[in-house]
Chain A
Amino acid sequence: MSDQFNPRNIFNINEHGDPFSTIDQGIDFLQNKIENAGVIGLVSAQYLYSGTTRYAVNQITQHTEFGEITFTLSLNEGKRLSRGSTTVTTEEGLEELFDTLQDSLKKSPEIDFYQGFPESKPSELKDLSSPEWSIEERTDTVIEAINSCEEIEKNVIVSGTCSTSRNYNRVVNSFGLDVDHSGNSNYFKVNAIIESPEDRNHRGYGQEDLNFRFEKPNVDSLSKSATRTARETLTLIDLPAQSYEVVLGQQAVSDLFVFAQFSLDPTSFHETNSFASDNLGAQIFDPKITVADKPRDPQLANLVRLFDFEGLPSEDKLVVDRGVLQSIPYDSFTAAKYLGDKNLATGNTLEFFGNVVPIYGSCVWENGDNSTEDLINEIDDGLWVKNFWYNRFTKRREGGLTGLTRNGLYQVKNGEIVGAVRNLRYTDSFVRAFSPGNVLNLSSDRRMFQLNTTPSVHLETFNFSSVAHTNKIDS
Chain B
Amino acid sequence: MTVIDKSLLDYSLEKASISGVEYADVKWLKRKSESLTVKNNILESSVRSNSEGIGIKILFNGGYGFAATNIITKESIEKTVERAIRVAKASSRAVKNPISLAEEPTHTARVQTYQLIDPNKIPTEEKIEYLIDTTKNADINDNRIKSRSAYYNHWTDHTVLWTTEETKIDQKIIVTGGGVSTLAVQGSETQVRSKPSSFRGDLATAGYEFFQELKLFESALEASQEAVELLEAPQCPADNHATIIIRPGQLMLQTHENGHGFELDRALDYEAAFAGTSFLKPHLRNQLKFGNELVTIHADATKPRGLGSFYYDHEGVQAQKTTLVQDGLLTGYLTSRETAQQIDDLRSSGSARASAYNRMPLIRMTNINLKPGDWKYDEIIEDTKDGYIFDTNVSWSIDDLRLSFQFGTEIGWRVKEGEIVGLIRNPSYTGITPQFWNSVTAIADETDFRMFGTPNCGKGEPGQVMYTGHGSSTTRFENVRIGVVQ
* B45 / chain A contacts, CB cutoff of 8 Å: 83
In the bound complex, do residue A469 and residue B94 qualify as a contact, i.e. CB atoms below 8 Å apart? no
In the bound complex, do residue B461 and residue A272 qualify as a contact, i.e. CB atoms below 8 Å apart? no
* A201 / chain B contacts, CB cutoff of 8 Å: 279, 281
* A163 / chain B contacts, CB cutoff of 8 Å: 461-462
Q: Which residues in window 320-354 of A have CB below 8 A to B?
A: 333, 353-354
* A111 / chain B contacts, CB cutoff of 8 Å: 42-44
Given A81-B46, A84-B47, check contact A271 B90 (CB 8 Å): no
Docked CA distance A112–B395 (Å): 34
| Interface stretch of the complex, out of B106-114, B219-227, B425-433 | B425-433
Q: Which residues in window 234-282 of B have CB below 8 A to A?
A: 268-274, 276-277, 279, 281
Given A207-B273, A395-B426, check contact A97 B53 (CB 8 Å): no
Docked CA distance A157–B272 (Å): 9
In the bound complex, do residue A68 and residue B395 qualify as a contact, i.e. CB atoms below 8 Å apart? no
Docked CA distance A354–B435 (Å): 37
Whether a CB of chain B sits under 8 angstroms from the CB of A377 is no
In the bound complex, do residue B123 and residue A189 qualify as a contact, i.e. CB atoms below 8 Å apart? no
Whether a CB of chain B sits under 8 angstroms from the CB of A417 is no
In the bound complex, do residue A64 and residue B462 qualify as a contact, i.e. CB atoms below 8 Å apart? yes
Docked CA distance A341–B116 (Å): 45
* A470 / chain B contacts, CB cutoff of 8 Å: 403, 432
CB distance from A302 to the nearest CB of B (A): 15
Whether a CB of chain B sits under 8 angstroms from the CB of A8 is no
In the bound complex, do residue A273 and residue B146 qualify as a contact, i.e. CB atoms below 8 Å apart? yes
* B128 / chain A contacts, CB cutoff of 8 Å: 107-109
Whether a CB of chain A sits under 8 angstroms from the CB of B69 is yes
| Interface stretch of the complex, out of A115-123, A134-142, A214-222, A244-252 | A134-142
Whether a CB of chain B sits under 8 angstroms from the CB of A210 is no
Interface centre among A54, A63, A86, A406 (most CB of B within 10 A): A63
Nearest-neighbor residue (CB-CB) of A277 within chain B: B185
Docked CA distance A59–B42 (Å): 53
Docked CA distance A84–B395 (Å): 30
Given A68-B358, A474-B435, check contact A200 B395 (CB 8 Å): no
Give the contacting residue for A272; candidates B123, B146, B403, B430; CB below 8 A.
B146
In the bound complex, do residue B438 and residue A66 qualify as a contact, i.e. CB atoms below 8 Å apart? no
Docked CA distance A109–B46 (Å): 11
* B46 / chain A contacts, CB cutoff of 8 Å: 81-83, 104, 108
In the bound complex, do residue A425 and residue B404 qualify as a contact, i.e. CB atoms below 8 Å apart? yes
CB distance from B63 to the nearest CB of A (A): 6
Give the contacting residue for A65; candidates B67, B283, B397; CB below 8 A.
B67
Given A109-B128, A109-B132, A273-B183, check contact A89 B71 (CB 8 Å): yes
Q: Which residues in window 15-42 of B have CB below 8 A to A?
A: 30, 42
* B44 / chain A contacts, CB cutoff of 8 Å: 111, 333
Q: Which residues in window 94-119 of B have CB below 8 A to A?
A: 94-97
Give the contacting residue for A109; candidates B43, B188, B403; CB below 8 A.
B43
Nearest-neighbor residue (CB-CB) of A400 within chain B: B486
Measured as residues with beta carbon below 8 angstroms from the partner, the interface class of chain B is 35 or more
Docked CA distance A245–B154 (Å): 49
* A207 / chain B contacts, CB cutoff of 8 Å: 273
In the bound complex, do residue A473 and residue B94 qualify as a contact, i.e. CB atoms below 8 Å apart? no
Given A66-B69, A67-B69, A97-B50, check contact A392 B287 (CB 8 Å): no
CB distance from A224 to the nearest CB of B (A): 16
Docked CA distance A83–B288 (Å): 51
In the bound complex, do residue A65 and residue B87 qualify as a contact, i.e. CB atoms below 8 Å apart? yes
Whether a CB of chain A sits under 8 angstroms from the CB of B157 is no
In the bound complex, do residue A104 and residue B397 qualify as a contact, i.e. CB atoms below 8 Å apart? no
Whether a CB of chain B sits under 8 angstroms from the CB of A87 is yes
In the bound complex, do residue A83 and residue B273 qualify as a contact, i.e. CB atoms below 8 Å apart? no
In the bound complex, do residue A402 and residue B395 qualify as a contact, i.e. CB atoms below 8 Å apart? yes
- Mark A422-454 against chain B: 1 for CB-CB distance below 8 A, else 0: 010101110010000000000000000000000
Whether a CB of chain B sits under 8 angstroms from the CB of A77 is no
In the bound complex, do residue A63 and residue B87 qualify as a contact, i.e. CB atoms below 8 Å apart? yes
In the bound complex, do residue B190 and residue A397 qualify as a contact, i.e. CB atoms below 8 Å apart? yes
In the bound complex, do residue A104 and residue B183 qualify as a contact, i.e. CB atoms below 8 Å apart? no
CB distance from A72 to the nearest CB of B (A): 9
Docked CA distance A52–B67 (Å): 10
Measured as residues with beta carbon below 8 angstroms from the partner, the interface class of chain A is 35 or more
- Mark A384-422 against chain B: 1 for CB-CB distance below 8 A, else 0: 000001111111111010111010000000000000000
Whether a CB of chain A sits under 8 angstroms from the CB of B467 is no
In the bound complex, do residue A103 and residue B397 qualify as a contact, i.e. CB atoms below 8 Å apart? no
Docked CA distance A139–B89 (Å): 10
- Mark B276-301 against chain A: 1 for CB-CB distance below 8 A, else 0: 11010101100111000000000000
* B395 / chain A contacts, CB cutoff of 8 Å: 392-394, 402
Given A93-B50, A139-B93, A474-B434, check contact A161 B426 (CB 8 Å): no
In the bound complex, do residue B64 and residue A62 qualify as a contact, i.e. CB atoms below 8 Å apart? yes
* A55 / chain B contacts, CB cutoff of 8 Å: 94
Whether a CB of chain A sits under 8 angstroms from the CB of B174 is no
- Mark A150-194 against chain B: 1 for CB-CB distance below 8 A, else 0: 000000010111010000000000000000000000000111010
| Interface stretch of the complex, out of A28-36, A287-295, A362-370, A460-468 | A460-468
Docked CA distance A397–B192 (Å): 12
Docked CA distance A58–B401 (Å): 20
In the bound complex, do residue B432 and residue A404 qualify as a contact, i.e. CB atoms below 8 Å apart? no
Whether a CB of chain B sits under 8 angstroms from the CB of A27 is no
In the complex, 29 of the A-B residue pairs with CB atoms within 8 angstroms, ordered by the A residue number, are A22-B71, A57-B268, A59-B95, A62-B460, A63-B90, A66-B68, A67-B70, A68-B70, A83-B48, A84-B50, A85-B47, A85-B48, A104-B124, A108-B125, A108-B128, A142-B94, A163-B461, A193-B272, A271-B146, A390-B399, A393-B395, A397-B188, A402-B484, A404-B399, A406-B400, A428-B486, A468-B399, A468-B404, A470-B403
Going nearest first, the 8 A-B pairs with the smallest beta carbon separation are A191-B273, A84-B48, A66-B68, A469-B403, A159-B273, A66-B358, A86-B50, A159-B272
Other A-B pairs beyond A88-B30, A469-B399, A469-B401, 5, CB < 8 Å? A60-B90, A61-B64, A163-B461, A273-B183, A403-B397
